[in-house]
Amino acid sequence: MKNILIIRLSSLGDILLTTPVIRSLKKLLPDCNIDYLTKIENKETLEFNPHLRKVYIFKEETSLEELTAGGYDLVIDLQNSMKSIKLTSGVEKKIRFNKSNVKKFLLVNFKLNLLENFPQIPDRYALSIKRSGYLPGFELDNEGLEMKFPVQTVPLDPRNDYIAIAPGSKHFTKRWPEYHFTVLCRMILDSGAIPVLIGGTSDIKICSAIQESEPGVINLCSENELFRISSILAQCKAAVTCDSGLMHLSCAVKTPVLVIFGSTVREFGFTPYKNKSIVIENDSLSCRPCSHIGKSYCPQKHFKCLTDIQPADVYESLSRLVYED
């Protein structure tokens, strides 16, 4: 097999979760050319990946002819959406990721859990590939997620202990409350470490509010500067995140991560992958999960999945993550 195309259009975390597949394919087929199709906003995530020949940018007018022009022996569709299905409809040799949509629907809407003990997303990707029979001997390695990037100079003194704080998430029901993050930052400061706020454009408001309430933090949240955020994370002792792309980025740069889950649950497979981590969630609620991607409001109007998770408990878990082997 000489040429393989991988398709995953979105988003940061999902792209990072495909990196073990890319690397393991290259190990299995060192002479194979591996190309990748994604959206423009994810180009930086793969730009310096040493196992890829080329990253193609998806556009709405992207056609089947563009995909097949490279003479691909195999197309691996890890998106499995209407767009990717349409794109690959005429491809003879292809693999589609089984997204387990029915099982997710049953868990969200009827709390029937058929996803218990299911593998994490990279392992599910690998399972779809192995079941296809196209790549005999394919196995994921044990090296976890991967993010190659040019290191940026950031204003952090290597003599200090820094804890990255990533309070943002695209969906409201995935965001631990701002006031809880503020209290946690005070606890971290009292311990002698320094909280560093990180995030992209959509996180600037919440990071500014936390800094205003707790001026001792360092606020390095800015525009969507992926290489800068990666460089900051790489210099931190640990990261505290919501269920977001920055959780996966922490894993990709090998920074221990504590992640706070709200409306989503572990069973969906998007937990920290092969990295030192702790997951905190309120598993006493019968309404969880209310969505497999997150919502803009709490359907029950109490938001206990996140408001009931207390800063003191998060700080205690963070201390174990940072200081215990």
Residue 81 phi, psi dihedral angles, 5° rounding: -115, 175
Q: 154 lies in a domain?
A: no
Helix axes 178-191, 311-323, angle to 10 degrees: 50
3-state secondary structure of 122: helix
184 and 276 part of one domain: yes
38-97 residue pLDDT tens? 999 999 999 999 999 999 999 888 777 777 777 899 999 999 999 999 999 888 899 999
Q: Residue 251: pLDDT band by 50, 70, 90 thresholds?
A: very high
What pLDDT, on a 0 to 100 scale, did the predictor assign at position 90? Answer: 85
Last residue of a domain, one of 113, 132, 151: 132
**CA dist 176 to 44, 131, 184, Å?**
27, 38, 11
Residue corresponding to tokens 């969630």:
281
Look up the CATH number of the domain holding residue 168: 3.40.50.2000
110-154 residue pLDDT tens? 999 999 989 999 999 999 999 999 999 999 999 999 999 999 999
93 and 182 part of one domain: no
Q: 64 lies in a domain?
A: yes
3-state secondary structure of 185: helix
Query: What is the extent of the structural domain holding 22?
Result: 3-132
% of the chain beyond a pLDDT of 90: 91
What pLDDT, on a 0 to 100 scale, did the predictor assign at position 142? Answer: 97
179-196 residue pLDDT tens? 999 999 999 999 999 999
- Radius of gyration from C-alpha coordinates of the chain: 20
74 and 169 part of one domain: no
Q: Residue 286: pLDDT band by 50, 70, 90 thresholds?
A: very high
182 and 302 part of one domain: yes
Q: 71 lies in a domain?
A: yes
55 and 178 part of one domain: no
Q: How far apart are CA 26 and CA 128, in angstroms?
A: 17
What pLDDT, on a 0 to 100 scale, did the predictor assign at position 235? Answer: 97
Question: Strand 162-166 relative to strand 194-197: parallel, antiparallel, unpaired?
Answer: parallel
- Cβ–Cβ under 8 Å, residues 176 and 169: no
111 and 171 part of one domain: no
Helix axes 19-28, 121-132, angle to 10 degrees: 40
Q: 127 lies in a domain?
A: yes
Closest to 242 (Cα-Cα) out of 280, 205, 212:
280
Alpha-carbon torsion angle 16, 17, 21, 23, nearest 10: 40
Among the residue ranges 68-82, 145-159, 205-219, 259-273, the one predicted with the least confidence is 68-82
Q: How many structural domains does the chain have?
A: 2
What pLDDT, on a 0 to 100 scale, did the predictor assign at position 46? Answer: 98
Q: What would the two tokens of residue 93 be? A: 């040799």
3-state secondary structure of 292: coil
Q: How far apart are CA 113 and CA 228, in angstroms?
A: 39
Mean pLDDT, rounded, for 13-21 = 98
Mean pLDDT, rounded, for 14-42 = 97
Q: What would the two tokens of residue 87 be? A: 């794109």
216 and 109 part of one domain: no
String of DSSP letters for 74-143 = EEEESS-SHHHHHHTTT-SSEEE----HHHHHHHHHH-----TTPPPHHHHHHHHHHHHSSSTT----S-
Q: What would the two tokens of residue 168 be? A: 């943002």
Q: 142 lies in a domain?
A: no
Q: 257 lies in a domain?
A: yes
